[in-house]
Each structure stands twice: as C-alpha cells, then as structure tokens.
Amino acid sequence: MHRSLVRTLSVWLALAVSSSMAMSAAAQPMMGPPGAQNGKGDWAVVVGGGVAVRPTFEGSDRYRVTPVPFFSVTYRDMVSLDATGLNAYWRHENLQIGGGITYNLGRTTDGSYFGRGDSRLAGMGDVPVTVGIRGFANYRLGPVLLSTSITKFFVEGNNGLLIDGGIGVPYRVTDRLMLNARVSTTWADGNYMRNFFGVTAAQSAASGFAAYNATSGIKDISLSLGAQYRVTENWLLSTNLRFTQLLSSAQDSPISFADRSVTGMVVMGYRF
C-alpha cells in the first residue's frame, strides 16, 4: 500500500514537472514568472493541464505521450510554489537571487507507461526519489536573460550535484503573445553521472550492459523554444520544445541509446 501510494504520487509529480517546464524554460523563478503579472492582490495562481512528449529516461531513444497537470502559485513576487519545488527570492532592478527546496524522481526499470524508466534497464536497479536544495540567480542584460543555478540532492543513490547556466531571450510580440528561446548547459558531479549513466560490475552482470565508470563533466547542452499566448484575460496557452544533446560520460554510456532527444509540451492554464 505504501509503495503503491509513493509510486502514484511520483507519477503525478513527474508529469507536473514536465508541464512546469513548458511554462518556463528554466526550473526556477525567472524575471516575471508565470502568473506573476495581473494577479489579484498579493496572490497569482495558475492551474491547468496539457500533454507532453518525452524520452522514457535520459539517454533513451523511446518516447511517451502523456497527459500533464500544471500549477503555479506566487505570493507577492517573493515566494513561489510549483511542480519544481518551493522557492523564495529577492529582486533588485535587473537582478533576481533566491533559493529553495526541490526534488528528483529518479528512474525506474519497470517500463510502466507513466514511469521515468524503461524495461530495457532491467537489472540496473532503480534510482530512488530524492530531495535537494538549490540556489539560483537571474540577471536581465538588455534583451538577454542570464541565469545560473546550483542544486544538491541528498538521498543515497541519487545524491548528485548539478550546476546549470543559460542565456535566454524573451521577446514580447504583442500584449498577448510572448516568445522565448534559451540555450543552457548542465555540469554534473561524479555521483550524478554514476547514478544515471554508470554501470557497476554487479549491474553489468544483471543487465548485460558493459561495465562503465561515468565521471563528472558537462552532462548536456540544450536549446529551448517556447511561446505563451493569452487567449483571454484569464486563459493562457503555452508550448515548449526542448532539444538536448548529451555530452562527455553521459553520451558515452552504454545505457545511452540516443545522445540527442526532444521534449515537447502544450499546456492550457487558467489564471485566478
């Protein structure tokens, strides 16, 4: 019963995380986070749902189409809660800095429809769900948005460190239509690389994959393209495409069936 409940919650969190990425190119509050404008009073709330296409796991060449929920709650443009976690932040002119609590849903080997995993990984064992803390900073330089974040996870077996840096260009076409593009790269420490791309001797014997020692390095580089359209005063339509190229140890891993992937999402949200 307990494991079933945890798995069910993990599934919906995974879907919600995917949808939140459709609404924002980076998994952290940006300059003008979704829902921050035109909120009623101190609160800005957006809820909705949509559909996503994503790889079954990092390095997979198989894709799943899944429904996705979405939610975003912002209070006084200082505290935000969405599917990526809880954050508190501070702004001064073009600078935004903050931190918060986040999580990573790991990876499974059961190959279930909604799970983050694939039956081809049988024998590799699951990467557990974990919690982490992160700090981030964003700076608007003219039309360009510079962003960086550092995230540390804590559960044994999923206790890696990630550092992300990116350059985004948000562009308002009309009062209703906003376009954005972002190029980003992620550095991962040895723990993260071993957890998600390494193959131990025991895993090799159980799965048939060659043993592989994944090391720290630049994990990937990504290009995100998105659009947000205000259909009415309250209804928002958001789309996002993210193209990712795995690099270094992630690219060379025997469980990386493809070093390039695409994630696509369409979300409709209602702003309260």
pLDDT digits (tens, 9 = 90+) for 23-81: 333 345 554 443 344 445 789 999 999 999 999 999 999 999 989 888 999 999 899 99
Rounded to a whole number, what is the distance in angstroms from the first to the last CA of the chain?
36
Average pLDDT over residues 258-271: 96
Instruction: Report pLDDT for 195.
Output: 97
What string of H, E and C letters represents the secondary structure of 139-204? EEECCEEEEEEEEEECECCECCEEEEEEEEEEEECCCCEEEEEEEEEEEECHHHHHHHHCECHHHH
Average pLDDT over residues 254-271: 96
Check pLDDT > 50 for residue 9.
no
Check pLDDT > 60 for residue 202.
yes
Average pLDDT over residues 92-102: 94
Per the model's pLDDT, the better-predicted residue between 161 and 18 turns out to be 161
Instruction: Report pLDDT for 83.
Output: 85
Question: Is the Cβ–Cβ distance between 23 and 49 less than 8 Å?
Answer: no
User: pLDDT tens, 126-147?
Assistant: 999 999 999 999 999 999 999 9
Interior angle at CA 166, CA 162 and CA 167, nearest 5: 175
Instruction: Report pLDDT for 116.
Output: 75
Instruction: Report pLDDT for 111.
Output: 61
Q: Which domain holds residue 23?
A: 2-271
User: pLDDT tens, 208-248?
Assistant: 999 999 999 999 999 999 999 999 999 999 999 999 999 99
Per the model's pLDDT, the better-predicted residue between 125 and 116 turns out to be 125
Instruction: Report pLDDT for 84.
Output: 87
- Rounded Cα–Cα distance for residues 173 and 18 (Å): 25
Check pLDDT > 90 for residue 197.
yes
Instruction: Report pLDDT for 190.
Output: 97
Instruction: Report pLDDT for 11.
Output: 44
Instruction: Report pLDDT for 3.
Output: 45
Instruction: Report pLDDT for 114.
Output: 55
Average pLDDT, the chain: 86
- Rounded Cα–Cα distance for residues 171 and 176 (Å): 12
Average pLDDT over residues 187-195: 98
Would you mind telling me the total number of residues written for the chain in this entry?
272
What's the total number of domains in the chain?
A: 1
Residue 178 token pair: 């906003």
We report the CATH number of the domain holding residue 69 as: 2.40.160.40
Rounded to two decimals, the pTM is 0.85
Per the model's pLDDT, the better-predicted residue between 256 and 18 turns out to be 256
